[in-house]
Amino acid sequence: MEKSQAMKRDWIATARTLSEALPYLQRYDGKTIVVKFGGHAMGDAPAMDRFARDIVLMKQCGVQPVVVHGGGPQIGQMLERLAIKSEFVDGLRVTTADTVEVVEMVLAGSINKRIVSAINAQGGKAVGLCGKDANLIVCEKALKRTLDPDSNIEKVLDLGFVGQPVEVNPRVLEVFLESDFIPVVAPVGAGRKADETFNINADTAAGAIAGAMKAKRLMLLTDVQGVKDKDGEVLTRLTRADIQRLIADGTIAGGMIPKVETALYGIEQGVEAAVILDGRTPHGVLLELFTQHGAGTLISA
């Protein structure tokens, strides 16, 4: 009898949660949500399954998810196996002709298909793409500028085949969304020359896609809870002015800078808001979209 009452309370709590989610379900009905999936959650099987289930639930609830994924650690492992040396400059992998072949093989191949399979296993209809398909993402060579600390002279660093998106064809993804499919995009872009391939930072690719699609939300899943203040507390809401101030005083530093810059770029292109959140948090994307509490740091205009 006691067990039966406990089960009934659980069912009531579940029903209450669904009821409270109604206004959020209505808010995002038919809206495009671009989700960048990366970090350690990609290498953890239970986390991958939870993420796939959440994406399928979003689609089932009328949301239109587009998944963009990274794969830095997996690329590093394959390069090591093939004895190809690789180095980083300010968080970006210097991509030689040999390296870009491995990048394409890993990102557009094994990782992309693993995520597609995980979503399909949860009852979804995922299809794998990369930026080269139908010229979804056309890139130009990315240039990294840095200031020499000794001479104070600005230098331009050659990162090889690292790409900066200059054109995004959102119609490619819209066709899949209209057909009830979930696009899963690997951040490998096409160049303007035939057979030219570029490695794109996954956050950058997600921001470019979100901007081109005028997405309702850009969600950047990472390995931290969000943007933190100097005391280590998560800042739940930020504007452009807040971010500029926090970068200037050193609160936002290192790898978080390109993430907030990607969020701001997306907003400039028409994304309503961007969220930086911990991809390891169970059901983090659902908490952010369908509850009042939310998750991570919301960045808006």
Instruction: Give exposure, 17-33, as e/b (b: 16+ Cβ within 10 Å).
Output: eeeebeebeeebeebbb
pTM, two decimals, is 0.88
Residue 3 has pLDDT above 70, yes or no: no
The answer to whether 8 and 247 have CB atoms below 8 angstroms apart is no
Residue 91 has pLDDT above 70, yes or no: no
Q: Which residue has the tokens 């609830």?
A: 61
Whether residue 16 lies inside any domain: the answer is: no
Dump pLDDT digits (tens) for 11-49: 677 677 777 777 777 888 889 999 999 877 777 888 899
Whether residue 228 lies inside any domain: the answer is: yes
- Name the domain count of the chain: 1
Whether residue 7 lies inside any domain: the answer is: no
Virtual torsion, Cα 247, 253, 255, 256, nearest 10 deg: -50
Whether residue 5 lies inside any domain: the answer is: no
139: how many CB neighbours lie within 10 A of its CB?
28
The helix (H) or strand (E) run that includes residue 183 is strand 182-186
Q: What is the mean pLDDT of residues 54-70?
A: 94
Q: What percent of the chain has pLDDT over 70?
A: 91
What pLDDT is stored for residue 7 in this prediction?
65
Whether residue 22 lies inside any domain: the answer is: no
* Tokens read off for 120: 């399909």
Whether residue 3 lies inside any domain: the answer is: no
Highest mean pLDDT range out of 2-11, 23-32, 217-226? 217-226
What pLDDT is stored for residue 151 in this prediction?
65
The answer to whether 173 and 179 have CB atoms below 8 angstroms apart is no
What pLDDT is stored for residue 132 in this prediction?
95
Which domain, by its residues, includes 115?
A: 29-300
Residue 1 has pLDDT above 70, yes or no: no
Residue 156 has pLDDT above 80, yes or no: no
Q: Return the CATH number at 99.
A: 3.40.1160.10
Between residues 33 and 1, which one has the greater pLDDT? 33
Residue 142 has pLDDT above 80, yes or no: yes
The answer to whether 41 and 51 have CB atoms below 8 angstroms apart is yes
Residue 88 has pLDDT above 90, yes or no: no
Lowest mean pLDDT among 65-79, 126-140, 174-188: 65-79
Mean pLDDT of the chain: 86
Read off φ and ψ for residue 165, nearest 5 degrees: -60, 130
Dump pLDDT digits (tens) for 238-295: 889 999 889 888 888 877 888 898 999 999 999 999 999 888 888 888 888 887 777 7
Q: What is the mean pLDDT of residues 111-138?
A: 96
Whether residue 4 lies inside any domain: the answer is: no
Whether residue 293 lies inside any domain: the answer is: yes
* Tokens read off for 3: 């067990």
As a whole number of angstroms, the distance between CA 136 and CA 188 comes to 10
DSSP state of 34: E
What pLDDT is stored for residue 195 in this prediction?
85
